[in-house]
Amino acid sequence: MVRAARELGRGPVPYHSAKIGNGQMSVSTLSLGWHWYPYGYSRSAVDVNGRRVADVPEWLVRLGHRAIEEVTGSHAEGAAHTIDAALLNFYDTSARMGMHIDGEESSDAPIISLSIGDTCTFRFGNTETRTKPYTDVALASGDLFVFGSQSRRAYHGVPKITPGTAPEGCGLGSGRLNITLRVTGMADDSSSIANSAPSHEHSEGSS
């Protein structure tokens, strides 16, 4: 899976670290289906090279369907989960992601998050503020985290990567690959949307 993720980075739009305000994110991101940029989505990588991003590959769509089926126990719900976007985030051992909400997306369908490589501390917060209350969860290689409905509007982030915890054979010697599969709820005529309020803003020091 890591090899396939690297191959996807050789497509029309490469992995890149987005600029947030006057800084730059420490995470390297690849968008599929829809291109995420601060603070919106577009079919084209408006902040990279202007090219249209590649579609979400079928193997990732199938992975998302299986995840929803496993969580809900319903094959029908899994098959009906119309994934139209994926974000692949590579973290080195010093990278982190500030607390943010995914407010660019109108859908409340569950986000599916798969971790590969080093264990991270995933901070899952509340819907009102970046501060407490929040819960820190250790996500190890192979862990799947699914959150939807009201939880989809909760602040969340990754304050820490724990070096040396990647298992042998995972495809990464160090660092973490996070694959998130999404239903955006957008149509082609809603591309290049930028929110007036930067809901995907990252907290100080995260980039």
C-alpha to C-alpha distance for 69 and 188, rounded to whole angstroms: 28
Q: Cβ(34)–Cβ(43) under 8 Å? A: yes
Which one, of 88, 76, 103, 81, lies nearest residue 13 by Cα? 88
For the sheet containing 156-161, what is the strand order? 97-100, 156-161, 120-124, 135-139
Distance CA 102, CA 105 (A): 6
C-alpha 97/C-alpha 100 separation (Å) is: 8
Residue 33: the pLDDT is 98
Q: For 62-119, write each residue's pLDDT tens digit.
A: 999 999 999 999 999 999 999 999 999 999 999 999 999 988 888 989 999 999 999 9
Q: 157 with 203: CB under 8 angstroms?
A: yes
pTM for the full predicted model: 0.91
Q: Which of 26-30, 81-85, 146-150, 167-171 has the lowest mean pLDDT?
A: 146-150
* pLDDT on residue 206: 33
Read off the pLDDT of each residue in 7-27 and give the average, rounded to a whole number: 96
pLDDT at residue 104 in the model = 86
Distance CA 93, CA 177 (A): 11
Give the 3-state secondary structure of residue 46. Answer: coil
Given this model, what pLDDT does residue 190 score?
A: 61
Of 23-32, 75-84, 187-196, least confident by mean pLDDT is 187-196
Q: Which of 116, 119, 95, 123 is nearest to 207 (CA)?
A: 95
Average pLDDT of the residues in 126-142: 98
Q: What is the pLDDT of residues 94-109, one digit of tens each?
A: 999 999 998 888 898 9
What share of the chain has pLDDT > 70, as a percent?
A: 91
Tell whether the model's pLDDT for residue 198 goes beyond 90: no
Q: Which domains occur in the chain, in start order?
A: 2-187 (2.60.120.590)
Query: Is residue 187 within 8 Å of 87, Cβ to Cβ?
Result: no
Binding site, annotated residues for Fe cation:
100, 102, 156
Between 188 and 159, residue with greater pLDDT: 159
